Amino acid sequence: MTTSRTIGPRRGPLLLAVVAIWAIGLVLAPAAALFERSLRSIDPASLEISIELDRLHDDLAATRWDWERTPDAEARADLDRRMRLLADRAGRLAGQETPPRVVHDLSTHARGLAAEARALPRTLGLAVSVAVVATLLAYPLAWFVLGAGRGGVGLVALLAVPWALLPVLRAAGWPILVEPTAVPLFGPDALRFVALLEVGLLAALPPTLAALRRLDPGWIEAARDLGAEPWIIHRRIVLPAARPGLAVGAIVAFALAAGALSTPWIASGGHGDDDLARLVWRAVFDAGDWGLAAAHAVVLTLAVLLGAALLARLFGLAPSDLLAPRRTR
Amino acid sequence: MRRDRPTRGGRRFADLALLFVAAPLAAVVANRLADGFVRPDARLVDGLFASFGLGVAVAALALPLGLAAALAARRSGPRLGAAAVTALAAAALVPGATAGFATLLFWRDLGIPGGLGVAALARAGAAAPLAALLFLHRLRDLPDDLEATARDLGAPRRMILTHVLLPHLAPTAGLAGLLAFLLAFADHDTTVFAIGGGPTLSTEIASRLELGTAAGAETLGLALVAAVATVLTVVAVLRRGRRGERPPLTTADAERRRAG
């Protein structure tokens, strides 16, 4: 990019500094904290003495309990000797006790592996199906919305705002409509799919609409005047024009479905196996194990971002497209 | 955009899509009609205000930060710019649960517990990149020669910003602001971690659904949706009444119009 395209007041360094501060403060530093937490564990060797001390004190308390309740003098003397021995050992060990040593290794990740191995395939399978179906539906839907003229787009906007207001409440409707455990074949997962499809469809529609609005209707008229069949018009003119929008829509639908926490859970009425995001939630709110939650969150994020990158490559979406001036079709 | 009238099959398809989107909310309404509406308690009302504050705070953060990032990405070289776009997209796509939990961890390590502030920062971490991407998308429509002409005519850079760029970006700013507000107001997945036990409307509804005591929460939620839908419909009807000549939506529209 040449200097003739630079814009705004000449405050490049200031602008960059502002962006760097927010990128670090809002995104990078929390991500780093999460990653560090997922690697952090306590060296079990550093706890050995403390564990032994706990054991000695337990033993001591039990022996004293016996001693207080034994009338037999000989037995009492025996117990007394034992108590002295235990107290002696505890006293010596107490001086050697070390604070727990924090180490960085993969042991927390290893703990999370089994649950992740179960949750990852189902999460990705669900997200990919949502992305595929949402994209397939977004194309004809966008076409018909635009066919209804500017009023159609306005109607979508009018519906979308109340729709977007409380997704939690919307998800709650599905288990009312269908008993989650009574769905044949897929069970509660079918409701998760349907609820996530709704999210994905409404996320995929705007980029598809935006892409199709760029299409000059003159192209379609010309093709029709030249005798092209409707499906040829779609394949050669409309679909290529919609393609970047569909790509963005598929990526967003995939990411939203794969990372969703409340929507699938509420939609299936709490029935069914855990998805990845639910594992993070459980580790925090059920187990209070923040290290494990961090490990699950790292895996979830990598799965979502790698999947999105793969989809972008599949659709031939390049980041530089967003910087180049638009070519009109 | 002028097109042919939609076919009957197309209309039916659109109606089905509409039904699909409306059905679950209708089911909640039917459920409430059967079981009765319940007056929401004080914690729910607090949650409603908290959600509103969260939405306003995130929109206020996301717009300037997103604008700064978009301008910075556009003025940096092609390679750095592409890297910036990739980073912005990645940040916008990070799962809500990750963003909420990571932000909670980070600020707790600094001695700041979860709450509305941390929740706003967590949500802005996704909303600001989204705003930046929308701004970049809009900037693609800005004709190159417009800036060049302004500069050739001797306009200072600040003036190019205020007279060329910002007016061009204004509609997108409205959209990005609304989106940031909605995504924060409606959010559950990020907020449930970052809010630190306080109420927001979405997290309250979700936790009460799990406990099976959501009657009041559903009533409040439905009342809110109904109120917003009513206001929007009234606004739309009023606007339709005085729809005259509108400013062109894009430069392409304007050119088309000029060409007749």
Distance from the A90 Cα atom to the nearest Cα atom in chain B, whole angstroms: 35
Q: Which of A9, A29, A174 sits opposite B161 (nearest CB)?
A: A9
Tell me what pLDDT residue A326 has: 65
Tell me what pLDDT residue B7 has: 62
Q: Which of B10, B74, B189 sits opposite A7 (nearest CB)?
A: B74
Distance from the B235 Cα atom to the nearest Cα atom in chain A, whole angstroms: 10
CA distances from B61 to A129, B94, B124, B130, B181 (A): 34, 18, 6, 12, 10
Residue A294 has pLDDT above 60, yes or no: yes
Q: ipTM of the assembly?
A: 0.87
- Verify whether the Cβ–Cβ distance B93 to A162 is below 8 Å: no
Tell me what pLDDT residue A259 has: 96
Mean pLDDT over B229-251 rounds to 70
| Both structure tokens of A150 | 């500017």
Tell me what pLDDT residue B242 has: 62
Average pLDDT, chain A: 88
Tell me what pLDDT residue B105 has: 96
B42 compared with A179, residue with greater pLDDT: B42
Interface of B with A in 15-34 (CB under 8 A): 17-18, 20-21, 23-28, 30-31
Reported confidence tier of residue B260, pLDDT bands at 50, 70, 90: very low
Reported confidence tier of residue B148, pLDDT bands at 50, 70, 90: confident
Residue B97 has pLDDT above 70, yes or no: yes
Distance from the B41 Cα atom to the nearest Cα atom in chain A, whole angstroms: 17
Among the residue ranges A153-162, B216-225, B245-254, the one predicted with the least confidence is B245-254
Residues of chain B contacting residue A164, judged by C-beta atoms under 8 Å apart: 182-183, 186
Quick: pLDDT tens for A269-292.
Answer: 889 899 999 999 999 999 999 999
- Residues 6 or more apart whose Cβ sits within 8 Å of residue B136: A322, A323, B70, B73, B74, B85, B88
A97 compared with B28, residue with greater pLDDT: B28
Tell me what pLDDT residue B163 has: 86
CA A318 to chain centre: 24
Among the residue ranges A156-170, B128-142, B200-214, the one predicted with the least confidence is A156-170
CA angle (A167, A168, A169) in 5-degree steps: 90
Give percent of chain B with pLDDT exceeding 70.
88
- Verify whether the Cβ–Cβ distance B99 to A30 is below 8 Å: yes
Contact B169, B138 (CB under 8 A): yes
Q: How many CA atoms lie within 13 A of B109 on its CB side?
A: 13
A235 compared with B103, residue with greater pLDDT: B103
- Count contacts between A and B (CB, < 8 Å): 302
Distance between CA atoms of residues B35 and B28, nearest Å: 10
Residues of chain A contacting residue B90, judged by C-beta atoms under 8 Å apart: 305, 308
Taking the Cβ of residue B150 and every Cβ of chain A, the question of whether any pair is shorter than 8 Å is answered with: no
Contact A326, A245 (CB under 8 A): no
Distance between CA atoms of residues A299 and A78, nearest Å: 57
Taking the Cβ of residue B133 and every Cβ of chain A, the question of whether any pair is shorter than 8 Å is answered with: yes
Residue A138 has pLDDT above 60, yes or no: yes
Quick: pLDDT tens for B181-218.
Answer: 999 999 999 999 999 989 999 999 999 998 888 899 99
pTM for this entry: 0.87
Mean pLDDT over A45-64 rounds to 91
Average pLDDT, chain B: 87
Quick: pLDDT tens for B43-66.
Answer: 999 999 999 999 999 999 999 999
- Verify whether the Cβ–Cβ distance A5 to B144 is below 8 Å: yes
B7 compared with B96, residue with greater pLDDT: B96
- Verify whether the Cβ–Cβ distance B121 to A26 is below 8 Å: yes
B2 compared with A149, residue with greater pLDDT: A149
| Both structure tokens of B9 | 């099959």
Residues of chain A contacting residue B1, judged by C-beta atoms under 8 Å apart: 146, 149-150, 213, 215, 217
Reported confidence tier of residue B258, pLDDT bands at 50, 70, 90: low
- Residues 6 or more apart whose Cβ sits within 8 Å of residue B237: none
Quick: pLDDT tens for B117-128.
Answer: 999 999 999 999
Measured between its terminal Cα atoms, the distance across chain B in Å is 13
Q: Which of A27, A140, A325 sits opposite B140 (nearest CB)?
A: A325
Distance between CA atoms of residues A230 and A307, nearest Å: 34
> What own/partner pairs with CB < 8 Å and gap ≥ 24 does A310-317 have?
A311/A131, A311/A247, A311/A250, A311/A251, A311/A254, A312/A247, A312/A251, A315/A243, A315/A244, A315/A246, A315/A247, A315/A250, A315/A251, A316/A247, A317/A244, A317/A247, A317/A248, A317/A251
